[in-house]
Structure 1
Amino acid sequence: MNPFKWLYPGMKVKRWLLTSLLGVVIVGAGAVWTAEPDTFVTMIGIVWILCGMVLIVMGMGKMIVSLLTLFLPKGERDLVNILYQKRYLERGPKIVVIGGGHGLSHLIFGLKEYTANITAIVTVADSGGSSGRLREEFNIVAPGDIRNCLVALADAPALMGELFQFRFSQDSQLKGHNFGNLFLTAMVQLTQGDFERAVKETSKVLAIRGKVVPSTVSNVHLAAEYMDGTRTEGEARIPSPHSRIKRVCLTGQEAHPTQDAIDAIEEADVIILGPGSLYTSVIPNLIIPGMSEAIAKSQAFKIYVCNVMTQHGETDNYSASDHVKALMEHSQRDVIDACLINVAEAPPEALSRYKEEASFPVKPDIEGIKEMGYKVVAADLLGVTDYVRHDSQKLNQALIKLIESHRVVRR
């Protein structure tokens, strides 16, 4: 390496180096003058020393900033964000969020501003749309929910997130496919079929804050048994308006939780289940052998975030306590300590569209959950736009308040 390259024009180092050197010379001259017996000369020497020290500090400071901005995509503006993330967010509690679908990505998008120690454990049992087609063709686990979580935690420029969420139009051979799904599929091929490594490498591309971990890399499918004795296989076909779901299970390969998922659960300060489709996003993670046991044994504070609306074909006429009962029937009693539910009422005009889809607000039967032995926190969590769902800001504020009231703070 040629050390004189630092002195090449345009490096924005030479000028500040010379400024610091000039400061050293001035301090030296000032020091000589302060040794003179004349008081006036001594005072001038002190002034020169002070001026020299200012030049040294300014030169060194500007030189450091000049060097750092070479490695930052937005220059000096990112320095504060990086310091904030490294010093404050990385001292936050270790939060594990378990689920899938849009509910999970919606939640972690807000939580990443509270702590950088987030691990999203994501279901890979999706069988519909682009994910289903890729599963069938390449024999991989579903990438769709993983992609949504990666984008939600991304610190990469917004355009990169939009790229990963881009869906090809219906008039192309890639119709219905999502670029992020295709990217993950290609990464799996490049890593010799190692889906976990593919997710980690994609995480680096998006510079995510936290971790995204598949709950399993076993190529499993979700099956449901209904109250009328019928049975359906395939996550996309499970919601059925004809009969209530009795139980869901996994078929295909023997499922094993990923080691990263188990490690995250063991080290967690807080574990959050949901929000998301009860039988097709949250429970599929819990029925992987060993997963519920790990959650139950964990010393973390465990919270279930109940949905605000029922889902036709999955949770018709379900109250909040019915959601909790379904969780218990598919796992263990100790997988949650507290339940966070919405008590705000949506305006009638917002609910009219949902009536056509046979979807209604979840009844917040607080006493029913308390009788089961769980703490209940009821709050206004509602957000009404084109959809009636959790308001991200309200939900995150309620969760943070609940977490800190339980004294789960590491800062």
Structure 2
Amino acid sequence: MPASADRAQAVVAFGGGHGLSASLQALRLLVADLVVDDLTAVVTVADNGGSSGRLRGEFGVLPPGDLRMALAALCGEHQWGDTWARVLQHRFAGHGEMNGHVIGNLLIVGLWEQLGDPVAALDWVGRLLGTTGRVLPMALTPLDIAADVRGLDPDEPGRLTTVRGQVQVATTDGVISAISLDPPNPLPCPEAIAAVHAADWLVLGPGSWFTSVIPHLMVPRLRDAIVGSDARVIVTLNLAEQAGETHGFEAADHLAVLVEHAPQLRVHTVLADARQVGSGLADLEHVVRATGARLVLDDVALDDGSPRHDPVKLAAAYTRILGGA
């Protein structure tokens, strides 16, 4: 659905973890400013570590952690929203079996057991929290990420080795060449497909590139919906390489591997931080031109020097992009 300048617009954001959380906090501000009137988060479901991995292994459910973080990011900045966001994110300490579990994960899994419907359960959690927007899983079955990794064998540094599992892929010592999903054709969330069809804008990134962003483009029916959509695609680039997952990557590398995994993806806008691109600007401009997109350089990083997006600055950048299309 093409964007219209005379009305608020529908946005679907894809990702997981802290990257998607930053994007959602920014987009939530656009809803408050009436720039966006329909906001949906589509979240990866491949986590196999920590509290999420334990619950997934014990109950055979979707890993709830990234879904929980997205719900918390959509809580409003008022007493109710702030309190429930902190409760949702509270992690138990101690030395027993509850150590490391997160209240929000347990709440989500409990509702899944009660209702037998993962989407309905997430909607109920959203109502409890008073979230701005909806949170959906990218698939209705738990997934595993497998990566072809080069450089793990010192005797044959060019040989590809398969690394399996979200945590293992994210922390590999090698160089990731490509990823795949197991199962390769998972059942997508129908509500996520419908949200893509109704969207004016689709936002990919920031986030863990190979384990949170690209996986959405590896679910065949979801990828088909994204590449076939009339919505305009924004790719928000990370501010720095990620140890293990994208070691040695510059901004241009992030965009290049994204397009390699989904050659039919039509990118409208690539958003990068002006200060972080640095000497890699020429390479980034070249890759952006090759994709037929436009490059927007803006100030979207926190001022503390950490490679994290500032939700307020990111919101301002998104507003300019959506308003200037």
* Fold similarity call, TM over 0.5: yes
Matches within 5 A, 1:8-407: 92-115=8-31, 116-155=37-76, 156-192=80-116, 194-227=117-150, 228-252=159-183, 254-345=185-276, 363-364=280-281, 365-372=283-290, 373-385=292-304, 387-406=306-325
What's the CA shift string for 1:141-169, capped at 9, x where partnerless?
Answer: 11001101111112443211111110000
Q: In structure 1, the residue corresponding to 2:219 is in which secondary structure?
A: coil
Identity of aligned residues (%): 33
1:121–1:212 contact (8 Å) kept in structure 2: yes
Matches of 2:179 and 2:192, distance apart in 1: 21
The unaligned stretches of length 5 or more in structure 1 are 1-90, 347-360, 407-411
The answer as to whether partners of 1:292 and 1:335 remain within 8 angstroms in 2 is no
Structure 2 counterpart of 1:225, one-letter code? D
Separation in 1, partners of 2:295, 2:264: 15
| Distance in structure 2 (CA, Å) of the matches to 1:209 and 1:393 | 16
Tell me how far apart the structure 2 counterparts of residues 281 and 179 of structure 1 sit (CA, whole Å).
Answer: 22
Q: Would the alpha carbon gap of residues 197 and 397 (structure 1) be closer, same or farther in structure 2, given more than 3 Å must change?
A: same
Change (3 A) 1:131 1:374: same
Give the equivalent residue in structure 1 for 2:155. none
- C-alpha distance in 1, partners of 2:184/2:206? 27
Runs of 4+ deviating beyond 6 Å = none
Q: Report the Cα distance in structure 2 between the residues aligned to 1:263 and 1:323, rounded to whole angstroms.
A: 28
TM (normalized to structure 2)?
0.87
| Paired AA for residue 264 in structure 1 | A
How many residue pairs get matched? Answer: 301
Higher helix share: 1
- In 2, the alpha carbon distance for the partners of 1:363 and 1:180 equals 40
Give how far 1:395 is off. Answer: 1.3
Q: Measure how far apart 1:213 and its partner are.
A: 0.8
* 8 Å Cα contact 2:185/2:219 also seen in 1: no
Determine the C-alpha separation between the residues in 2 that align with 1:382 and 1:233.
32
The CA deviation string for residues 149-207 of structure 1, in whole angstroms up to 9 with x for no partner, is 11111244321111111000033430000000010011111013x21221112112112
The structure showing larger relative contact order (alpha-carbon pairs under 8 Å, at least 6 residues apart) is 2
For the residue of structure 2 that corresponds to 1:290, the secondary structure is helix
Q: Which SS does the other structure have where 1:114 is aligned?
A: helix
Taking the aligned partners of 1:229 and 1:188, their CA distance within structure 2 comes to 39
Structure 2 gap segments, 5+ residues each:
1-6, 32-36, 151-158
> Which residue of the partner structure matches residue 358 of structure 1?
none
* In structure 2, C-alpha distance between the alignment counterparts of 1:362 and 1:395, rounded to whole Å: 22
Q: 1:320·1:369 contact (CA, 8 Å) conserved in 2? A: no
Deviation, structure 1 residue 326: 1.0
Deviation (angstroms), 1:401: 0.2
Question: What SS does the aligned partner of 2:112 have?
Answer: helix
- Aligned residues: CA RMSD: 1.9
In structure 2, C-alpha distance between the alignment counterparts of 1:329 and 1:300, rounded to whole Å = 20
Alpha-carbon distance, 1:254 to partner: 4.2
Q: Cα distance, 1:291 vs. partner?
A: 1.5
C-alpha distance in 2 between matches for 1:280 and 1:362: 27
Deviation at 1:405, TM superposition (A): 0.3
Whether contact under 8 Å (1:296, 1:332) holds in the other structure is no
